[in-house]
Chains A and B, each alone.
Chain A
């Protein structure tokens, strides 16, 4: 489209990788950070939608 996307500092991405302790959490946060960087509106729906999708796989290991 040509709209300028604000790139995210590599240090943050690296810190996420090292500090999250979970691949899914890392992926989730990475997506959210890029969302923030590009300041796209209606964040709540997007957040909820991403959460619902990613947490499906995460939850399986924790349930009785």
Chain B
């Protein structure tokens, strides 16, 4: 199938353009235009014509209304304006088919506000009797759907950026869906579903006149519903599991060599706390040492004096000079009484003076003696501490050294850990690790649930088989159900066969697509020795295997990624029933210079089997690239904007 011509009227900046792509040997066409010239809007125009939407709109275009701006500006009357895109399509050597969409817009002549009033799709097909037949509305849409199924359009019309992002954005779900649609397994799916419904109807019919059959039928319906639910859930979980595994792999690649910053930071925090605790203990111990040194030091400085005092007290005690043996109160009383209490004689003046002098001396001695005795405890205390001082100083110093070592060791470890995490955007890395753990958890959960569901599935399948046997036996008992029984059995066989065939086709189609993708990739690949294999696993994840045996999809160049995406697309085209054209917007913009020419050669050669239309910027269309493409292309256009940017000119080059 080919797009022969594209005609637009008032569609965005493509006000009135006509691009035709007649085949002349190679089927490669090139459209060149600067940014904003309208190249991408050619893709949008095709999509809008076929499906009524514009999936490739730039941010700028998205803000603008669909009708051409010049038209809007020039609007003077209140009539509706029309925008038209027309595609001329040839399908498998038949006459041409015209697909046209006309959009209606009301434009306020003062405010220039544009209101979309809807659009109409028409398809004009050749008709043997009438020459041409017009299809409208739903019939036109059905027809277009058969020509270019909407759910496959991303494999016909896509921009180069998407080609690069293909395997980064296409989850296995989408790829499986593509395989599903392309291989038309959706048809089998529809048949399966309808047969199931039919079976239920037949059983209900039998059940209407036999309660036992009715019971079995109801249970069967319930179980069948459960089976379908379980299968659906299994499908969803398998997809989730695949997504989780792929994401885990992606994150593992990202995180390779990068430390778990969060974990390390926790360790740093722990070590810091420990260090701070030790520092506090050290500081307290330091204070203790200072106290010991201060107080003990004073004692040691006057140690001789202290020892002399201690010895003096010892000596006086030994001589019984302290405590004093004469009681001063006795002498005071004698003086007061004026007579001796021992001999009874009255005191004369001399005796009185002697006694007074004695009393003074004794008082002083007693006082001194008391003072010495009072000193004794204090002296004993400082003496004991003085003798123990060295031991205490050394013990505390040892403890301090130990704390200092621990603190130093702790700081060293903290430093090392800080160095390990420096240079990383810890926020980002933490996010990655958290994401990694989330997906690991999701994977484990999905796996667990999946296992349980698989067990359940088997059990329900067993129940259904048993119930079917019961039903068969019941039906056999009653002669009037002969025909119904036959139909039920036949329908049941057809239903089971559908399921089995569906599974076989999925596996086969996947394998065929894998083989075709591989073949195409290695045929087109300029560096064939680098890669060893391409695999599409049963979960529809695509794996590109290096010649050395490891997975390398994440580390290939843009050119190789685009080539793989292109090969996969071509494989889908080959396996599907649709020989559709491929439009690629800016195919080599993301490819580095080294591989650009290689990739251009690939694109040029594709035109020998299929309609290829490339939309290139002048930068892409360099001398080297044009020398490769021009040889294979007979249809070349340039979209040129006028100097004042208001008009678009389409130049054709032979």
Q: CB within 8 Å of B: which residues of A?
A: 2, 4, 6-9, 11-12, 15-16, 18-22, 24-26, 28-29, 32-33, 36-37, 39, 43-44, 47-48, 51-52, 54-56, 58-59, 62-64
Asked whether B504 is an interface residue with its Cβ less than 8 Å from the other chain, the reply is yes
- What residue in chain A is nearest B143 (Cβ atoms)? A4
- What residue in chain A is nearest B497 (Cβ atoms)? A20
Contact of B194 among A24, A43, A64 (CB under 8 A): A43
Bound-complex Cα distance A23 to B98 (A): 41
- What residue in chain A is nearest B575 (Cβ atoms)? A11
- Whether the pair A28, B501 counts as a contact (CB closer than 8 A) is no
Q: CB within 8 Å of A: which residues of B?
A: 125-129, 133, 142-143, 146-147, 183-185, 187-188, 190-191, 194-195, 197-198, 201, 476, 482-483, 485-487, 489-491, 493-494, 497-498, 500-501, 504-505, 508-509, 512, 575-577
- Whether the pair B187, A37 counts as a contact (CB closer than 8 A) is yes
- What residue in chain A is nearest B129 (Cβ atoms)? A2
- Whether the pair B486, A62 counts as a contact (CB closer than 8 A) is yes
Residues of chain B within 8 A (CB-CB) of A56 are 486
A24 to chain B, nearest CB (A): 7
- Whether the pair A29, B191 counts as a contact (CB closer than 8 A) is yes
Bound-complex Cα distance A4 to B123 (A): 12
Residues of chain B within 8 A (CB-CB) of A22 are 493, 497
- Whether the pair B491, A11 counts as a contact (CB closer than 8 A) is no
Residues of chain A within 8 A (CB-CB) of B126 are 2
Residues of chain B within 8 A (CB-CB) of A62 are 486, 489
Interface of A is mostly: helix
A54 to chain B, nearest CB (A): 7
- Whether the pair A29, B494 counts as a contact (CB closer than 8 A) is yes
- Whether the pair A12, B188 counts as a contact (CB closer than 8 A) is yes
Residues of chain A within 8 A (CB-CB) of B129 are 2
- Whether the pair A58, B486 counts as a contact (CB closer than 8 A) is yes
Contact of A29 among B197, B501, B512, B576 (CB under 8 A): B501
- Whether the pair A9, B184 counts as a contact (CB closer than 8 A) is yes
Interface contact tally, CB-CB below 8 A = 111
- Whether the pair B133, A19 counts as a contact (CB closer than 8 A) is no
Interface of B is mostly: helix
B477 to chain A, nearest CB (A): 11
B486 to chain A, nearest CB (A): 3
23 A-B interface contacts by CB (under 8 A): A2-B126, A4-B125, A4-B143, A4-B147, A8-B187, A8-B577, A11-B183, A11-B509, A12-B505, A15-B501, A16-B501, A19-B501, A22-B493, A25-B493, A26-B497, A29-B501, A37-B184, A44-B194, A44-B198, A47-B195, A48-B198, A58-B489, A59-B490
- Whether the pair A54, B490 counts as a contact (CB closer than 8 A) is yes
Residues of chain A within 8 A (CB-CB) of B184 are 8-9, 12, 37
Residues of chain A within 8 A (CB-CB) of B482 are 59, 63
A4 to chain B, nearest CB (A): 6
Residues of chain B within 8 A (CB-CB) of A29 are 191, 494, 497-498, 501
Residues of chain A within 8 A (CB-CB) of B128 are 2
- Whether the pair B486, A39 counts as a contact (CB closer than 8 A) is no
Bound-complex Cα distance A63 to B472 (A): 11
Contact of B490 among A9, A44, A55, A63 (CB under 8 A): A55
The residue among A20, A26, A55, A63 with the most chain B CB atoms within 10 A of its own CB is A55
Bound-complex Cα distance A9 to B501 (A): 14
B358 to chain A, nearest CB (A): 140
Residues of chain A within 8 A (CB-CB) of B501 are 12, 15-16, 19-20, 29
